[in-house]
Amino acid sequence: MQGMARTFKKRRYASLFKIRLTETLGIKRRSHKTMNTIRISAILLIIITALLTVGCNSSSRKVTLSADQEIQLNKQMIYSAIKAMREKNYKTAYSLWRILSNRGDTHATVQLGLMHHRGQGRLVNYKEAMNWYLKVHETNGDALNNIGVLHRDGLGVTKNRKIAYILFLKIHMTGMGGERTVLRANRNLRREMTKLSKKDKHEALCYTSSYVDAYIKNKGSIKGIPQNLRASPTNKRIKELNWWIPGEIDDFSCPKNT
């Protein structure tokens, strides 16, 4: 028992010594959250260092990673970015998403857009959010859905619910993205179907895919429908695409100049 008491006293004195030493040196004891932030920042520093070109004077060489190392590096960055987002360490998260985006990760590109969209760690900027979404909208359903939301609500662009309707419809009909993406688009689509008049829905279905794509790429600055983006034997209207089963949509005529 005496041995145990002496051991306890030693540990207690050692702990007190550490506390007094940090106080004497002016070192503040860091919280668990602060330590997590430091760890993430350290990981970010290692990652950036690995990705930067290294060398001296005019000679330089790039760090080359194996395929497995690339996969592991991406996984670590994604994990660290998600962790930073949960801890509201938006500066670190933004840096990680940007590195991943530059490495071809479309999900990371959408996350950058969302941070501008929601004002996470920066001021809300719908135009900048749109710029990020447009980088990957052809292959990423979440980007296309978010572009639809911006057009639906008139955020950073002129409100155009017919264009939004077609974007949500495209995700729904083509199954673009994962299950959650399609479900989100379906909710948005059902909402637009109740808000738009029958005339507006018919007009939207008379657009061509090339016109819709040009419209969003030009951020709504196109006036009217240019001749080269109108329907032709080689440029089908939305209602003429192979999305539909027989009898699924009404037979209706399209407005002129579409």
131-149 pLDDT per residue, tens: 999 999 999 999 999 999 9
Mean pLDDT of the chain: 84
Q: Per-residue pLDDT for 56 more than 50? A: no
Confidence (pLDDT) at 53: 42
pLDDT bin (cut points 50, 70, 90) of residue 50 is low
- Choice between 180 and 67, residue whose per-residue pLDDT is larger: 180
% of the chain exceeding 70 in pLDDT: 76
- Choice between 146 and 39, residue whose per-residue pLDDT is larger: 146
Q: Per-residue pLDDT for 43 more than 90? A: no
Assess contact for 216 and 152: CB atoms under 8 A.
no
Return the bridge partners of 249, or none: none
Q: What is the mean pLDDT of residues 32-40?
A: 54
For 212-231, write each residue's pLDDT tens digit.
999 999 999 999 999 999 99
In whole angstroms, give the CA distance from residue 257 to residue 193: 24
For 88-137, write each residue's pLDDT tens digit.
999 999 999 999 999 999 999 999 999 999 999 999 999 999 999 999 99
Confidence (pLDDT) at 243: 94
Confidence (pLDDT) at 20: 43
pTM: 0.78
Q: Per-residue pLDDT for 9 more than 60? A: no
Confidence (pLDDT) at 64: 79
Which positions ≥6 away from 215 have C-beta within 8 Å? 160, 163, 222
In whole angstroms, give the CA distance from residue 197 to residue 165: 12
Q: What is the mean pLDDT of residues 62-73?
A: 82
Q: Per-residue pLDDT for 12 more than 50? A: no
Return the bridge partners of 60, or none: 55
User: What does residue 61 show for φ and ψ, rounded to 5 degrees?
Assistant: -145, 155
Q: Which residues of 128-150 are buried (b: 16+ CB within 10 A; e: fewer)?
A: bbbebbbbbbeebbbbbbbbbbb
Ranges of each domain in the chain:
67-136, 144-258
